[in-house]
Amino acid sequence: MSTSITTNGTKSATVAKGNKAGDAATWADERLGLAKANKLMSLRKVFPDHWSFMLGEIALWSFVILLLTGVFLTLWFKPSMGEVSYQGSYDQLRGIQMSEAYASTLHISFDVRAGLLMRQMHHWAAMLFIAAMLVHMMRTFLTGAFRKPRELNWVIGGLLLLLGILEGFAGYSLPDDLLSGTGLRIADGLVKATPVLGSYMSFFMFGGEFPGDVIIPRLYIAHVLLIPGLLLALIGAHMLLLVYHKHTQWPGPGRTENNVVGEPLMPIYMAKAGGFFFMVFGVVALMGGLMTINPVWRFGPYNPAEVTAGSQPDWYMGIAEGLLRIMPGWETHIFGITMSWNIFLPGQIGPIALFAIVLAYPFLEQWITGDKSEHHLLQRPRNAPTRTAFLAAMITLYGLLWAAGGNDILATQFHVSLNAITYFMRGAIFVVPVIAFILAKRWCISLQRHDNDKLLHGYETGIIMRSPEGGYSERHLPIADARAYKLTARERDEVYQGVNGTDANGVDAPNARVDGLRARLSRAWFATNVQKPTVAELEEGHHHAEAELEYEHAAGLDHQADGHQYDGRHDVAGDDLTHKH
């Protein structure tokens, strides 16, 4: 054990008298018991370091930016569908009838200094917020960070993503321009496809027939109060659980399931995370200043009889759009009722099913693997091949649906038949994810084999040896202990065998069928994985390497080589290269 391990110090600190900050701290502690809070969450709380732990932080800081820029926008935005004649400074629209919502959005964009900047920063931050949540979720998934005891935090994260998307859609609808009105028109169609209640739900939502005059104020209060409140509460719960569970860490020398190794909240992470907030804020400000987003003045006010070709929603609605576009036009008309499968399935059942899978995933995996223990060390994606392959399939599906959501753009940009793209996608969403699954799984397994090769036979040095018989072979050298330890710091997978199918009297055990399914799934999950070498295998590998060495010596290679004696950098006589630490 090295001497570098530091603790939080053992000397007791006292608040110096006559020191202004100390006096203030004492004043506050006498009323709030602040020092006790340090017990709940120490100022020196340890966080482990890895670049991928920063993704969730981007989402958090984007949310803060959304709150700040959003408050600025509320100072001028008028959430009203009352009709006015535009008299602002944008020539092309002057004198045109429009809603107050659209007119005030134009006012913010053209007549309030920094208004357009804040609007564009708000929109870019929203894009970033959802993107960062999604990527953070993929990181959590790939590394197994959602496993016990963090399943509920995964569920909270899933709800945050869902709310984030709803919040984004509500915000997108507020300016009441042609594009956002078209989005609401599609939402109206989706709602109307609900069995039995569709037309009633639509009338209640819009306060009468679409578009009515209440949807913008209703969406506004949801966008600025209701959903942000829920988001804030859930983010709070997400962070509290993060503090309570302590952050996961990558395995490595000195890191175990029972500790967390890293740097303290104060001062390191206060500076790093605080600094990162300013970085994210700065990047969003540059994007808002230099990159145009949602130029509503070009689309004109909403008119239910007009639409722009190439209409596209914000990126995160892309997969819902894709589902809607490639669905065949199936409607059932029977007994005087209409069932719109073509809208109900892709527009309502599809997204709900997708979210149900996401939220239930930790529990499904736990049931299949039978794993009931706590996990604080992360897994490399290759060491959970089935899970990684599942995500690869889901990403593929996401990508295909996203592309399908822009089938018209693909058709015009690449001069391909729109119909051909749509027909292709209808089949591809079922076939391509399966191919991606198989490829990713095999890839993971071969990476696992590669790791074992390195452990057992060492790394490839690039030195080619010629034997007296004239055969050639490459020399391998053992890897450093720390690296070797890291490669073996993972658990062995255990296939669930299932209970015996029948009891002593030959009667089926209760739940035998479910249990059999679980055993089969567990086999499919784990059976092809490559396990890390055992102690015996590792020793045999080392013996083999030493035997090779002796053979080389016997063959007249009486000095060891790392290759550098050939390029003249140094003479290796006397070097011991076999166990370099």
Partner 1 sequence: MSDHHDLVVPEATEEPIANPGLPEHLPRPTDVDPVAEKRAERQVATLFGLSALFAILTCVAYFAVGKYDAFLGLGASNVALGSGLGLALLSIGAGLIQWSRKLMSDHEIVEMRHPASSSEEERSEAVAAFEQGLEDSGIARRPLIRNSLLGAMGALGLPAIVFLRDLGPLPGDKLQHTVWKKGMRVVQDVDGARIRPSDMQIGQLVNAEPEVFFETNSEGEPVIEGTELLQEKAKAAVILVRMHPDDIKPWKGRENWGVDGILCFSKICTHVGCPISLWEQQTHHLLCPCHQSTFDLADNGKVIFGPAGRHLPQLPLAVDDQGYLVATSDFTEPVGPSYWERG
Show contacts with partner 1 in window 469-488 (CB under 8 A).
481-482, 484-485, 488
Rounded Cα–Cα distance for residues 184 and 313 (Å) = 11
Span 51-70, contacts to partner 1 by CB under 8 A: none
45 versus 238: smaller Cβ distance to partner 1 = 45
Decide: is 523 part of the binding site for partner 1 (CB under 8 A). Answer: no
Contact pick of 29, 234, 246, 548 for partner 1 (by CB under 8 A): 246
Burial class from Cβ neighbours inside 10 Å (0-12, 13-18, 19+) for residue 5 reads: exposed
Decide: is 535 part of the binding site for partner 1 (CB under 8 A). Answer: yes
Contact pick of 68, 339, 445, 509 for partner 1 (by CB under 8 A): 339
* Amino acid at residue number 515: D
Least Å distance between CB 557 and partner 1? Answer: 29
x-marked contacts with partner 1 along 127-156 as a string, rule CB under 8 A: ----------------------x-------
The string over 119-158, giving b where at least 16 C-beta atoms fall within 10 Å of a residue's C-beta and e elsewhere, is bbbbbbbbbbbbbbbbebbbbbbbbbbbbeebbebbbbbb
x-marked contacts with partner 1 along 453-472 as a string, rule CB under 8 A: --x-----------------
Span 67-86, contacts to partner 1 by CB under 8 A: 81, 83
Decide: is 262 part of the binding site for partner 1 (CB under 8 A). Answer: yes
> Is the Cβ–Cβ distance between 445 and 457 less than 8 Å?
no
190 versus 392: smaller Cβ distance to partner 1 = 190
Kindly indicate which of the ranges 2-10, 50-58, 162-170, 520-528 contains the residues binding partner 1, using the contact rule CB under 8 A.
2-10
> Is the Cβ–Cβ distance between 319 and 398 less than 8 Å?
yes
Contact pick of 62, 69, 120, 180 for partner 1 (by CB under 8 A): 120
Contact pick of 88, 217, 228, 264 for partner 1 (by CB under 8 A): 264
DSSP secondary structure of 471-524: -EEEEEEPPPHHHHHHHH-SPPP-------SB-TTSPBPTTHHHHHHHHHHHHH
Rounded Cα–Cα distance for residues 250 and 145 (Å) = 10
Decide: is 429 part of the binding site for partner 1 (CB under 8 A). Answer: no
x-marked contacts with partner 1 along 277-306 as a string, rule CB under 8 A: xxxxxxxxxxxxxx-x---------xxxxx
3-class secondary structure per residue, 94-124: CCCEEEHHHHHHHHHHHCCCCHHHHHHHHHH
* Amino acid at residue number 16: A
Q: Count residues near partner 1 (CB under 8 A).
A: 139
Span 344-403, contacts to partner 1 by CB under 8 A: 346-347, 372-374, 376
Decide: is 531 part of the binding site for partner 1 (CB under 8 A). Answer: no
Strand pairing of 332-334 and 472-477? unpaired
Decide: is 14 part of the binding site for partner 1 (CB under 8 A). Answer: no
Contact pick of 79, 157, 158, 198 for partner 1 (by CB under 8 A): 198
Decide: is 443 part of the binding site for partner 1 (CB under 8 A). Answer: no
Span 543-572, contacts to partner 1 by CB under 8 A: none
Rounded Cα–Cα distance for residues 279 and 276 (Å) = 5
Decide: is 412 part of the binding site for partner 1 (CB under 8 A). Answer: no
Rounded Cα–Cα distance for residues 132 and 274 (Å) = 17
x-marked contacts with partner 1 along 315-334 as a string, rule CB under 8 A: ------x--xxxxxxxx-x-
Rounded Cα–Cα distance for residues 486 and 104 (Å) = 58
111 versus 575: smaller Cβ distance to partner 1 = 111
Give the contacts of 419 (CB within 8 A, at least 6 positions apart): none
Q: H or E segment at 47?
A: strand 46-47
